[in-house]
Structure 1
């Protein structure tokens, strides 16, 4: 479970030069992001960085309710709809540069919110649980497998849309995309559906044998666990694979606009994009030289259509409170609490 208020300061300045402090509030795991911060510090030795990690929904609420003891300069979150709303509602500092102009149109909004990763939402299966069984290649395959072998399979996992901002968004997009979403979720709930705050927790549950498969897992986290030796299989759903981009923005209230803009540009620089692809496994959004995770490698692995989640006005509906209440009411009717 993620801890609130964890702060990482990654700068030791030589000499007596006074540092410019840059505060980042982020939903991205600290270990995954540390190489990027370290590289930024090396490029900008006059800037010290504090990095506070917080779950997506508390992060958004803390900003709009103005209840942070230290106001961040940069906000990073995988809850794309919440980030879009912050930018749309005037919380973000506009920034335009040759670097931001390289982003695809769907990954930036109003020169204020910028996607900087390209992460597919995938199936992750336990090799032990699926030994001697075919891996499901689609949502329909998963239901067919449960109908045939459900008694022998542990429950299935996904995000908890009640507590996870990114899980809330993905559930709503799946509902809008897939006409069979409601019966799909209902059948998984009958079999045994466990929900988690984070992709990392889902992967740990697979490793412990608590679940046999997880869906809508961030591919970046799964690739890292597999590289570390986890006994898992990764499947890109053949019916469709959503792709999410972590979104960064500088708050309009920052007293350090130069440092904030420098960090945004660094995130989209070839150096940072290569680090994201090769060291953090978060996947670059811009083309990089092989090897490393990037749109090209994701496309090569996909077995069906890729559907990036665009930074556009549709996201406002997903973060609307009335829409949220309606969706969660439906979710609770399909997945009763125990």
Structure 2
């Protein structure tokens, strides 16, 4: 039986496919960027970089995080691949790729200026600043009823379970590398983690794949509250009926990881893009797209002690330990219903 299971595990799975593609610029040199960031959100950033580099024709491929990781891993193992740059929110997967010698090194004044938590081995760099928030429908919840911490969310679910039944949403951590990262981080950080999952189970919370689906569900009133979604996607959605809270007990802060794959054909252009993203103009454009948030207490009202930056470091390798991953996935799946099919 073990031999059969091993053989089945080694069989090739269905080919991954990008979710969407876009082209920026009309130069003669093709530059391929693969990313988990929605095209609609990052478009102004890529348009400006293309304008500054007219020799490039940038093929931007939007991927789900798990598919992007698997493709990047397979390209690395084969010693080939088409991507010149990879940008992902599932930074535990990016740390794994760098640790597996799948990235090229680069250093500049801008990369050296990054804090240590946003730079690892000069092969992985954090280019954004995005808090994980509690989103809510402003038309269906009074301001006084909005939970501003995990403890308050627990109290709300216990006090009014019928109000919240099937109307709490978050990422499906089996389908979303980002969702898995947030759940793993919660499991280490929060004393409320087990109790919160138990409450999610009681109100039949919905776990689904994607930021856009979750936020549109909140905007439409299908969900009252979304837990641990990226504030950048809430901000960029432009939906006035969707508010967001930075949890007061602690707020996870993500920085998307940028990597130059070792098989990149346009390494110089990939380095220029990295410096552009980290430079003043790139950071301003990313902020305009909702991908950079000033986490200073004066701006957010969040105490500095409540900020939890997810570091780009070997610490995240533990998140991909097969045993730990299996346990967390099982614990999570027992707590969530799936989103109904359309």
TM > 0.5? yes
- Structure 2 residue aligned with 1:149, among 139, 160, 167? 160
Change in Cα spacing, 1:69 to 1:103, as seen in structure 2 (3 Å) is: closer
Query: Counterpart in 2 of 1:90?
Result: 101
Query: Counterpart in 1 of 2:139?
Result: 128
Q: If the length of structure 2 is used for normalisation, what is the TM-score? A: 0.88
Cα shift readout 1:27-67 (whole Å, capped 9, x = no counterpart)? 00001111111111111111221000110001101121239
Query: Counterpart in 1 of 2:181?
Result: 169
**2:312 is paired with a residue of what secondary structure?**
coil
Query: Counterpart in 1 of 2:118?
Result: 107
Query: Counterpart in 1 of 2:270?
Result: 260
- Structure 2 residue aligned with 1:204, among 210, 216, 234? 216
Q: Determine if contact 2:206/2:337 at 8 Å carries over to the other structure.
A: no
- Structure 2 residue aligned with 1:55, among 58, 64, 77? 64
Q: If the length of structure 1 is used for normalisation, what is the TM-score? A: 0.89
**1:264 is paired with a residue of what secondary structure?**
helix
Change in Cα spacing, 1:143 to 1:32, as seen in structure 2 (3 Å) is: same
Cα shift readout 1:164-215 (whole Å, capped 9, x = no counterpart)? 0000111011011113311211111211211121222111111122111011
| Residue correspondences, number | 320
Q: Residues 233-272 of structure 1 correspond to what in structure 2 (within 5 A)?
A: 233-272=243-282
Unmatched 5+ stretches in structure 2: 1-16
Query: Counterpart in 1 of 2:194?
Result: 182
Q: Determine if contact 1:120/1:298 at 8 Å carries over to the other structure.
A: no
State the shift of 1:224 in Å: 2.0
State the shift of 1:321 in Å: 2.3
Query: Counterpart in 2 of 1:29?
Result: 38
Q: Determine if contact 1:186/1:335 at 8 Å carries over to the other structure.
A: no
Query: Counterpart in 2 of 1:78?
Result: 89
**1:37 is paired with a residue of what secondary structure?**
helix
Counterpart CA distance in 2 for 1:178 and 1:223 is 25
Query: Counterpart in 2 of 1:300?
Result: 300
**2:86 is paired with a residue of what secondary structure?**
strand
**1:254 is paired with a residue of what secondary structure?**
coil
Counterpart CA distance in 1 for 2:203 and 2:156 is 11
State the shift of 1:129 in Å: 2.2
1:4 aligns with 2:18: yes
Unmatched 5+ stretches in structure 1: 14-18, 284-292
After TM superposition, the structure 1 stretch with the greater mean CA deviation from structure 2, 298-307 or 134-143, is 298-307
**2:296 is paired with a residue of what secondary structure?**
helix
Query: Counterpart in 1 of 2:10?
Result: none
The structure 1 segments of at least 4 consecutive aligned residues displaced by more than 4 Å after TM superposition are: 67-70
**2:244 is paired with a residue of what secondary structure?**
strand
RMSD: 2.2
